[in-house]
A and B are shown apart, each in its own frame.
Chain A
Amino acid sequence: MTEFESSPTHIPPDRLRVWSFHPATWLLVPLAAILFQVYVPRFLSYLSYLELPLLVTVYFSVMRRQPPAGALTGCLIGLGQDALTHHYLGMYGIVKTLIGYSAASLSLRFDVDNSGLRFLLGFGFFMAHQVLYWALSHALLGTHDALHVPQTFIAAILNAVVALPLFQVLDRLKSEAR
C-alpha cells in the first residue's frame, strides 16, 4: 500500500483513468516546447513569458497519474532545459521534478479533465515553479536576483490561459492505458 492509497479521492473510480502516449509523443512534445522557448520569442517577445516545458510537464504528469513517472518526466524536461542554458545543470531539473511529482499526486485526487481545474493547475504550478526556482537560486547558488511578484502573477495567469487550449490539443494524442 502506498501513501496515496489511504488518501480520500474526489473522483469516482470509473473516471480515475490512466492515459498513455506514443513514445514519439513523449519525445517530440517536450522537444517542441523547448524549441518554442528558443525560437519563437525572438519574433514575438511577449511570448517569452510562456513556460511551455512546464505546462507539458504538468500535462504528462496528471495524465499518467503516477508520481514517480511525473517526477521523472519533470526531471528530464528540466535537464533538457538546463542543458541549453549557461547555468548549472539541475536547477530547472530539480524544480520540474517537484512540479511533476506534485501534479501527478494531485491527479490522484481530482478530476483533471475539468477546465477550471486545469486553469488552476496552470496558474498554481507556474507560480510554484517561479518561486521554487528563485528559492533554489538563493539557497544553492547564493544569487540575489529579485522575484518580481506582480509580473510573475500576470505571467501565471497568461500561462493558465494558454494551458487550456494546449491541454485540449494534447488530449488528442492520448490513449487509455491498459
Chain B
Amino acid sequence: MDGLFSRYRNMSALLALLAGQLLLLAWQIKSDGDTRLIRVWAVTAVTPIVRGLEAVRVGTGGLAQRWFMAGALESENARLKHRTGDLEIRNQLLAEQLQQAGRAQALLEFRSQLSSRSLPATILGNVPGVQSGVFFIDRGSPDGVKRGMAVVTGDGIAGQVVAVYPSASLIMLATSQGFAASVTSQKHRTHGLLKGDGNSCHVEGIRNEQALDEGEWFYTSGDDRIFPRGLRVGPVRSVRDGSEGKEVEVRPAALDGDVSEVLILLDAVHGQIPDLATPSQPDVQVLPPPPEDARESAAAAAAAASPTPGGSGATPRTDADRLKERYKRIVEGQNIQIGVTPYRAPDFNRQPAAAPAGAGAAAEVQPPGGTAQPGAPPAATAPAGKATPATPKAEPKRTPATLPSTGERR
C-alpha cells in the first residue's frame, strides 16, 4: 500500500486535496453550515488593509497630482504655471468635495423622504472574482445590518445584503446573478420578478398578452418581503414577446453611474407607487382669437388692396371666391339657369362673360370687349397692363385676341 502511494504520490496529493475540499463543500451544502469563523477571520484580516489603502489613497492623491503637475510645468514659466497648477488642483479637490457633498445631500434628502428606517454606508471594495458584482461596505453587524436587507440609493434599489460580519458586510448588486426582487410596472401595474443576469436585469413572469410599454418604469411591489413597495427600480429598456412570456430588459436607475454611497433599509415600510403624471398643457396650443380691431383693420387692408368702384361689396378676397365668380359669370354668359329642367350643362371651358368693372380685376385678365369671347385665345395671353383699365372710355383698339369669334354670337 505504501509503495502504491509513493509511486503515485503526486496524484495522491491531488486527490487528497480535492477530496478534502469536496467534503468541506458537501458539509456546507448538507448542513447549510456557514463557515463563519473562517470568513470572519478572512474579512477581519483584509478589512484593515483595505481601510489603510483607502486612507493612503485619499491622503496622497492630492500630493501625487501636485507632483506630476509641477513636473510638467517646469519647462515653461515656473511661477505662473505653478500658480495655475495649484489652482487647478484646488479646483479639482473642491469639485470632488462638491460632488461628494452633492451625492451625500441627495442621499440624505432621499433618506428623509423614506418612511423606512435606513443606515448610510460606503462601498469599500469588490469581492474577489471576475465581475462578481458583490461589494464590501463599511457597516457590519454592530450597526444592526442583517442578511437579506435591502440596499437602495436615491435613484432606486441597488441590491441586497448577502453576508454580515462584525467589521463589514457584503452587498450583491441588482445586476448580479442570483439577485431577485418582486416588481410591478407603473402604468399598467404588470407584476413580474426582477432578476440579475450578470450585466443587466430582466423581468420574468410576464405573459405576452399583458401590457407593458418600452420606457415604462418598474417599482418594487413589496411581495418579496425584502424590498418595501414603492421603491423605484428602473425603466424598461426593451420588451418583446418570447416563447415563455415577455422578454423584458430593465436598466436599474441606481446603477447608472458610480455607486459609492448606499442606504441599507433596517426597517422597511411600504410606500405608494406614484401614478403617472397627466400633462397639464396639451401638445397643441390654440392661440386666442385676434382682437376685433385687428380683424377690422385686416378687412380694411384687403378692401384697399382690391377696390370695388361699383360699390357692390362682393369683392372676391380668396382664390375660391374668384373661382366661384368666374363660374357664375360663365353660367350667366351662356344663359343657363341652374336647377331648371330641361337642364343644359354649362360649358366651363368657355371664357366667362366680362366681369363687372373693377370686380375681380386682380383675379383674372379679361378682354376689354365686355362680353364672352368663345373660342378666343386665353385671356391670360393678353398683357396684364392692358387689361386693368375696365372703363368703356379706355377701350383700346381691337386686337386679334379680342375679336369676337363667329360662332356663339351669331
Which A positions have Cβ atoms within 8 angstroms of B?
1-4, 34-35, 37-39, 41-42, 48-49, 51, 53, 67-68, 71-72, 75, 79-81, 83-86, 88-94, 97-98, 101, 105, 130, 140-141, 143, 145-146, 148, 155
Contacts and interface: CB of A to CB of B under 8 A. Distances in A.
B14 A71 contact: yes
Given A35-B53, A37-B126, A68 B14 contact: yes
Contacts of A68: 9-10, 13-14
A81 B17 contact: no
A128 B157 CA distance: 35
B130 interface: yes
Contacts of A42: 123-126, 135
Given A35-B53, A83-B42, A146-B197, A89 B28 contact: yes
Contacts of B35: 89
Contacts of B131: 48-49
A94 B10 CA distance: 16
Nearest to A155: B130
A95 to B, nearest CB: 10
Contacts of A145: 177, 198
**Nearest 9 A-B pairs (CB), nearest first?**
A83-B42, A68-B13, A37-B128, A90-B25, A90-B21, A67-B10, A38-B125, A86-B163, A86-B162
B401 interface: no
A142 to B, nearest CB: 10
Interface of B: 7-11, 13-14, 17-18, 21-22, 24-25, 28-29, 35, 38-39, 41-43, 46, 49-50, 53-54, 123-132, 134-136, 162-163, 170, 172, 177-178, 197-198
Contacts of B24: 89-90
Contact of B21 (A35, A39, A94, A141): A94
B21 A3 contact: no
Contact of B22 (A37, A39, A85, A90): A90
19 contacts: A35-B46, A35-B50, A38-B127, A48-B132, A49-B131, A75-B17, A81-B129, A83-B41, A84-B46, A85-B129, A85-B132, A86-B134, A86-B163, A86-B172, A89-B28, A89-B39, A101-B14, A143-B178, A145-B198
